Amino acid sequence: MADLLYGYLPHYELSLLQRMCLIWAFIACGLVIALQIAQSWAEPRPRWTLLDERNKHYWYTFYVLEAFLTMQITYRPLAWNLEELGLGGSVGLLDAVWIALLGLEAAMVAGVVVLQVSRAFGGSPTKPKAGAKQKEL
């Protein structure tokens, strides 16, 4: 299966600059998450660190981005280690995890965009509009 995949898709390795940019993006995202965790005990807690119904989708997307960056950075060393251990067939498992994280991140970004567009044009679908009367049953 992997040979078939490599036959159709070009084999591409990240350059040193691209790998360093990914590592710095990983570090920056990790610092934001660490700051969010550290601020969870502050009184009063800064508003941007709150995980509430309005912004939880953005934070979850950010957390998946961090997991994807981790997989992207460690992919090649993990593949080399698996091949050295004689588990070369497990590289397909790494490919599956990488593709799953990429697909999840793409789906989450698309979901956040759709949510933002629906809020911009139609308001929040879960909350009644201000001034609207509720029907009594």
Confidence of residue 137 (pLDDT cuts 50, 70, 90): very low
Domain boundaries along the sequence of the chain: 16-122
User: d(Cα 60, Cα 104) in Å, to the nearest integer?
Assistant: 11
The alpha-carbon radius of gyration of the chain (Å, integer) is 21
Closest CA to 90 of 80, 99, 103: 80
Of residues 107, 37, 23, the one with CA closest to residue 66: 23
The predicted-structure confidence for 61-116, as pLDDT tens digits, reads as follows 888 888 888 888 888 788 878 877 776 667 778 888 888 888 999 999 998 899 88
> Cα(41)–Cα(38) distance, rounded to whole angstroms?
7
CA 64 to each of CA 17, 117, 131: distance values in angstroms, whole numbers, following the listed order:
23, 21, 38
pLDDT(123) > 50: yes
> Look-up: residue for tokens 């009594």?
136
